[in-house]
Amino acid sequence: MTAITSNLQVVNHAITQAAYMAQRRKESIELLAVSKGFSAVAVREACQAGQRAFGESYIQEALDKIELLRDLPLQWHFIGPVQSNKTRAIATHFAWVHSIDRLKIAERLSAQRPASLPPLNVCIQVNVSGEDSKSGIAPGGLVELAQAVASLPQLELRGLMAIPAPAEGMEAQRIPFLKLHELMQQINTQGLALDTLSMGMSHDFSAAILEGATIVRIGTAIFGERNYGGNQ
């Protein structure tokens, strides 16, 4: 058994345990393997172990992998900051975008999504910790942005995403995830029907699952340490 296969088994078992603690079905939580910074060979190995959904943050790196792995039944998620000059490639090659934080980007993705493809699933990234260094809309502007994004053709607004500030201990980790869950509930009282909370990474996904995560973004615990910063 390879290291990636073994790691996937460990992560999936931990997701199952967290789901049990939360009194949720394990099937209600999707594992998104964050493959940014890792090779197409590593992605292929994870696919052979049963993983299908992969997250990328750098468009050229992602496009190279997508081309090399076209023979595999993979679903690609873009999880990094979206630049205006990258929207056409993202709209064309990805099934999901987790990191919309302004209307201009959403409008470009909508306009550039090929009509031959199903609507692009999108999440709005929220800066739940109020960090100046983090992308994401402030909670106060979220409802207005969500309503605008939901009205765009060729996009399907599915939910919210967050990357909270690191915290030590389960209880501290749960606080920002609860805040994101409450924000989704608030939006849904405005007539929308969001169903996705993209939250939780290698160090805090159990806390995220306890607060309702439906997608956990895990890279390091599956693939190992990267050679550069910004691990998911």
> Which domain CATH number covers 51?
3.20.20.10
Q: Give the pLDDT of residue 135.
A: 86
Give the whole-number percent of the chain exceeding pLDDT 70: 97
Distance CA 223, CA 227 (A): 12
Q: 3-class DSSP state for residue 87?
A: helix
25 located within any domain:
yes
C-alpha closest to that of 122 among 133, 131, 132, 113: 113
Domain count of the chain? Answer: 1
The boundaries of the domain holding residue 191 are 3-223
207 located within any domain:
yes
229 located within any domain:
no
Give the whole-number percent of the chain exceeding pLDDT 90: 93
Q: Give the pLDDT of residue 126.
A: 98
Reported as a pLDDT band with limits 50, 70 and 90, residue 231 is: very low
The sign of the dihedral angle between the CA atoms of 135, 120, 29, 4 is: negative
232 located within any domain:
no
State mean pLDDT over 3-18: 98
Which tens digits make up the pLDDT trace of 85-128? 999 999 999 999 999 999 999 999 999 999 999 999 999 999 99
